[in-house]
Amino acid sequence: MNKGILLASTLALATVLLIAAGTLWPVPSALAYAGGRHLIHSPATPEAAAANFGDEIRGQEWGTAYDSLANKAEFSEAEFQHDLLGSYPNIRTYAKLDRFEILPLHASANDALIRLKLHWATVVGDSVSTRDVRLVRNGEEWRLEWPLTKEPMLPPQVIPVNYLRWDVIYRGAGDDWGVQDVEAPHVRIVDMHPVDRAEGVVILGELLNEDVVPADVSVSATLLSKSQMPIATQGSFDKISHLLLPKQVTPFLIEFPGVSLADVGSVRMTPFSTLVPASADPVIEIDDQKLNPAPDASLTGELSNQSGQVVNVAHVLGTFYDRTGQIVWVADQYIGRALLPQTPVAFNIHIPEDLSRRVSSERAVVATYSFGGAQ
Amino acid sequence: MSDGLVKLLICVSLTAIPATAQERGLNVPATVVAGSEFSIRTAGSGKAILYVVGPGQAVKRLTQLGDTVTITQGTICNAGRYAVVLTSQNWTQTDAFDVTPAAQPASLSFLARPSRLPVNQHDGITGAVYVYDAYRNLITVPTAVSFELTDPTGAVQTRTAMTRQGAAWIAIDSTARQGSDKFVARAGGVSSARVVRQVPGDPCSLVMTAERSAQHIELETQPVRDCSGNAVPDGTIVTFTETYKGMQSTVDVPLKRGVAKVEMPAELGATISVASGVVMGNQLRWER
């Protein structure tokens, strides 16, 4: 009995001592992940200063990050925060910085240039923004000069819109069974191509709305073995533009991880379409599209919102073709900020390096979403 | 009457029809038109209960044997096979008769498909009609049904079909003119109408012109029409593509008031093309 009390007392005392030690002298990495102070304390090198900055952004310590900048006099903290997250609701509004990468580009005794890659955890996955940041030495410390991108302020104006919109009246619950309902839009898969990749089979293709009404579309594919037994069924999820206006074409990509094309006998494709209310606006122009060769192959360009409406989320889908017009790949990117009227925003869609050499031409489309039900 | 008793009576009637019916004096018509009045004669003396049991209906009458039981108009409405059971304390007599639909159509179920289709589609419109009498019984005797498709110009296509087992159907071409067609089915003075919307087909000739506008090229299509001359509806997407110096600009523009209009960068030597869906239009080279 006495031994039990002694053991319990010893364990309790040891626990109290360990808690006290952990509070007074915490492990730096644990503190950083707990959202406390930085993993690296002294910005004695450009990389350390950039890492401190990244930790502060990850911890959403906007004030601390702003105070650490060498050029903070050039802009306000609010402008700095808007530069990172956007002024209008967008895909990063509810995102947090997941991780960051620092790539030194140049260094001298008093200044340095690094490439800072910020990986934001958004509802649609990883969203990357890249900035080339200059650092300057100030005594024993290095400080960042943040390259603020100011959003242009458009003068107040009225943009007349010839508003084109489709509304739908569906059949009522009391109608006789013979009464017609609105016909689902007619859509057609105009191209389909299975590709064998290291991660599995990928189905690439294009879907056309050949009707005169808007369609909410998706595509599913079922892989069948050589004995015509189903292997797996997958949908295109967000690798498609779901809203198709009349005669509009969207690419789609369906992934089957862990499946080899050698095991596939045939593919059964099923397009789905539903008639939905929709608007023909906003119109987005995709300018200066350029295929950049490997290494770091990509499709770059600029989106320009030609309407007067703010587009909160823009999703760019690129379709890549070889010389014969065969689809080689489909890739996409969510734009990290809202598209303001007549304000170009750059995009950069990565192309797998092994495929980039086969790419001869491309076609880009934009799917847009506006908060407040404008779509 | 409880469900159990009804089932029992049906069972009895179907297994014991009616070897002894005439001997016991139960006289039932062989067929009756749905909803009409008819009589069942009984023979003998004493009191009995008469049951008439059919699809979804059961009728019970207390009767004096030897009397005629009259089933009034509108009492037996559902077409099908009916069992008649006359029961007393010591015995039961059974018989059966058929209730047939009235020959006169009273309503139609008209299925017209699709509700929207492109112009000039061979057998693109189908109509199927189910003919019912006043009590919603499917009339199974062959009945003539006429179908009329009237296009927006007033031109009428007519087809006639006889029902088979209560249904008649046809396939008919969509016309060359866009608009709402009236599709009417008629049988025995009863009609049912549907609207079929004929929409333009793919753009037939897509032609754009270009004009300089400050630092931009203003591109505009001519009014876009299908191969039958129908104006392609507003909202149809037209894609403009400009290729210059190894780069490309594209924009998807919806037709508004019949034309698609857009401004694109004025790049010397640029090649500009236009397309809608799978239809390609003309190509321009910007040299000014």
Nearest to B199 by CA among A263, A247, A195: A247
Q: Does residue A29 sit in the same domain as residue A136?
A: yes
Q: Does residue A115 lie in a domain region?
A: yes
- Mind listing the pLDDT tens digit for each residue in B16-69? 444 344 445 789 999 999 999 999 999 888 899 999 999 999 999 999 988 999
Q: Which domain holds residue B189?
A: 107-199
| Residue B151's CATH number | 2.60.40.1930
Q: How far is A109 from chain B (nearest CA, A)?
A: 40
Q: Is the pLDDT of residue B3 over 70?
A: no
- Taking CA atoms, A339 is separated from A301, A306, A366, A367, in Å, by 14, 10, 12, 12
Q: Is the pLDDT of residue B15 over 60?
A: no
Last residue of a domain, one of B47, B79, B100: B100
Q: Do A290 and B265 touch (CB under 8 A)?
A: no
Is the distance from CB of B30 to CB of B100 less than 8 angstroms? no
Q: Is the pLDDT of residue A211 over 70?
A: yes
Token readout for B127 is 């109509």
**A&B contacts, CB < 8 Å:** 107
- Residues in CB range of A161: below 8 A, 6 or more apart: A281, A307, A308
Q: How confident is the model at residue B159 (pLDDT cuts 50, 70, 90)?
A: very high
ipTM exceeding 0.95, yes/no: no
A216 touches B: beta carbon within 8 Å: no
Provide, as residue numbers in chain B, all residues whose Cβ is less than 8 Å from the Cβ of A209: 277
**For an interface test with B, which of A166, A168, A177, A180 has the most B Cβ atoms less than 10 Å from its Cβ?**
A180
Neighbours of B156 (CB within 10 A): 11
The whole-angstrom separation of Cα A252 and Cα A203 is 8
Q: Which one is predicted more confidently, B224 or A2?
A: B224
Q: Do B202 and A283 touch (CB under 8 A)?
A: no
Provide, as residue numbers in chain B, all residues whose Cβ is less than 8 Å from the Cβ of A288: 247, 249
Q: Does residue A35 sit in the same domain as residue A137?
A: yes
Q: Are strands A264-275 and B225-226 parallel, antiparallel or unpaired?
A: unpaired
Last residue of a domain, one of B181, B199, B217: B199
Q: Does residue A216 sit in the same domain as residue A326?
A: no
Q: How confident is the model at residue B14 (pLDDT cuts 50, 70, 90)?
A: very low
Is the distance from CB of A358 to CB of A305 less than 8 angstroms? no
Q: Do A178 and B110 touch (CB under 8 A)?
A: yes
Q: Do A289 and B264 touch (CB under 8 A)?
A: no
Q: Which one is predicted more confidently, B92 or A3?
A: B92
B168 touches A: beta carbon within 8 Å: no
Helix/strand/coil for A221: strand
Burial of A369 (0-12, 13-18, 19+ CB in 10 A): middle
Provide, as residue numbers in chain B, all residues whose Cβ is less than 8 Å from the Cβ of A245: 235-237, 252, 254
Query: Is the C-alpha dihedral spanning A61, A62, A67, A68 positive or negative?
Result: positive
Q: Does residue B37 sit in the same domain as residue B51?
A: yes
Token readout for A235 is 């949908």
B272 touches A: beta carbon within 8 Å: no
Neighbours of B218 (CB within 10 A): 15
Last residue of a domain, one of B182, B199, B216: B199
Q: Does residue B164 sit in the same domain as residue B182?
A: yes
B251 touches A: beta carbon within 8 Å: yes
The whole-angstrom separation of Cα A58 and Cα A99 is 7
Provide, as residue numbers in chain A, all residues whose Cβ is less than 8 Å from the Cβ of B254: 164, 245, 280-281, 283
286-325 of A, contacting B, C-beta below 8 A: 286-291, 301, 306
Q: Does residue B84 sit in the same domain as residue B138?
A: no
- Mind listing the pLDDT tens digit for each residue in A67-83? 999 999 999 999 999 99
pLDDT at residue A34, rounded to an integer: 59
Q: How far is B37 from chain A (nearest CA, A)?
A: 30
The whole-angstrom separation of Cα B287 and Cα A332 is 34
Residue of A nearest to B233 (CA): A212
Q: Which one is predicted more confidently, B130 or B267?
A: B130
B247 touches A: beta carbon within 8 Å: yes
What number is the average pLDDT over the span A80-104? 90
Q: Does residue A32 sit in the same domain as residue A50?
A: yes
Q: Does residue A254 sit in the same domain as residue A339?
A: no
| Residue A340's CATH number | 2.60.40.10
Provide, as residue numbers in chain B, all residues whose Cβ is less than 8 Å from the Cβ of A190: 278
Is the distance from CB of A336 to CB of A82 less than 8 angstroms? no
Q: Does residue A160 lie in a domain region?
A: no
Angle at B233 between CA B228 and CA B239, to 5 degrees: 100
Provide, as residue numbers in chain A, all residues whose Cβ is less than 8 Å from the Cβ of B107: none
Q: Does residue A11 lie in a domain region?
A: no
Q: How far is B35 from chain A (nearest CA, A)?
A: 23
Q: Does residue A268 sit in the same domain as residue A307?
A: no
What number is the average pLDDT over the span A308-316? 92
Q: Which domain holds residue A39?
A: 23-145
Provide, as residue numbers in chain A, all residues whose Cβ is less than 8 Å from the Cβ of B237: 245-248
Provide, as residue numbers in chain A, all residues whose Cβ is less than 8 Å from the Cβ of B195: 180
Give, for A34, the enclosing helix (H) or strand (E): none
- Residues in CB range of B188: below 8 A, 6 or more apart: B104, B105, B131, B143
A248 touches B: beta carbon within 8 Å: yes
Q: Is the pLDDT of residue A121 over 70?
A: yes
Q: Does residue A342 lie in a domain region?
A: yes
36-95 of B, contacting A, C-beta below 8 A: none
For chain A, how many structural domains are there in total? 3
pLDDT at residue B11, rounded to an integer: 45
Q: Does residue B157 sit in the same domain as residue B192?
A: yes
Token readout for A64 is 């601390």
Residues across chain B: 288
pLDDT at residue A1, rounded to an integer: 56
For chain B, how many structural domains are there in total? 3
Considering only CB atoms, A245 lies closest to which of B115, B235, B264, namely B235
Is the distance from CB of A220 to CB of A272 less than 8 angstroms? yes
- Mind listing the pLDDT tens digit for each residue in A348-371? 999 999 999 999 999 999 999 988
Q: Does residue B216 sit in the same domain as residue B172?
A: no
Question: Token pair 């523009």 is at which residue?
Answer: B253
- Residues in CB range of A111: below 8 A, 6 or more apart: A134, A135, A136, A137
The whole-angstrom separation of Cα B232 and Cα A212 is 8
Q: What is the DSSP letter of A262?
A: G
- Taking CA atoms, A231 is separated from A263, A264, A268, B122, in Å, by 9, 8, 11, 39
Q: Does residue B43 sit in the same domain as residue B78?
A: yes
B211 touches A: beta carbon within 8 Å: no
Backbone angles phi, psi at A158, to 5 degrees: -110, 125
Q: How confident is the model at residue A29 (pLDDT cuts 50, 70, 90)?
A: low
Report the percent of chain A where pLDDT is more than 70.
93
- Residues in CB range of B52: below 8 A, 6 or more apart: B40, B58, B59, B61, B71, B76, B82, B83, B84
- Residues in CB range of A269: below 8 A, 6 or more apart: A189, A192, A203, A205, A219, A220, A221
Is the distance from CB of B69 to CB of B61 less than 8 angstroms? yes
Provide, as residue numbers in chain A, all residues whose Cβ is less than 8 Å from the Cβ of B130: 178
Q: Do A180 and B276 touch (CB under 8 A)?
A: no
Last residue of a domain, one of A276, A291, A307: A276
Provide, as residue numbers in chain A, all residues whose Cβ is less than 8 Å from the Cβ of B258: none
Q: Does residue B94 sit in the same domain as residue B162?
A: no
Q: How confident is the model at residue B8 (pLDDT cuts 50, 70, 90)?
A: very low
Residues across chain A: 375
Token readout for B255 is 């037709």
Last residue of a domain, one of A244, A259, A276: A276
Model-wide pTM > 0.90: no
Neighbours of A65 (CB within 10 A): 24
pLDDT at residue A33, rounded to an integer: 59
Q: How confident is the model at residue B170 (pLDDT cuts 50, 70, 90)?
A: very high
Q: How far is A26 from chain B (nearest CA, A)?
A: 54
The whole-angstrom separation of Cα B249 and Cα A363 is 9
Q: Please list the alpha-helical segments (H only) found in B51-127.
A: none
Tell me what the pLDDT averaged over chain A comes to. Answer: 89
Q: How confident is the model at residue A36 (pLDDT cuts 50, 70, 90)?
A: low
Neighbours of B40 (CB within 10 A): 21
pLDDT at residue B17, rounded to an integer: 42
Q: How confident is the model at residue B9 (pLDDT cuts 50, 70, 90)?
A: very low
Neighbours of A130 (CB within 10 A): 12
- Residues in CB range of B77: below 8 A, 6 or more apart: B34, B35, B57, B135, B137
Q: How confident is the model at residue A334 (pLDDT cuts 50, 70, 90)?
A: very high
pLDDT at residue A157, rounded to an integer: 80
Provide, as residue numbers in chain A, all residues whose Cβ is less than 8 Å from the Cβ of B111: 178, 180
Q: Does residue A217 sit in the same domain as residue A107?
A: no
Q: How far is A158 from chain B (nearest CA, A)?
A: 19
- Taking CA atoms, A123 is separated from A86, A89, A92, in Å, by 16, 14, 9
Q: Does residue B64 sit in the same domain as residue B115?
A: no
Neighbours of A350 (CB within 10 A): 16
Q: Does residue A294 sit in the same domain as residue A262?
A: no
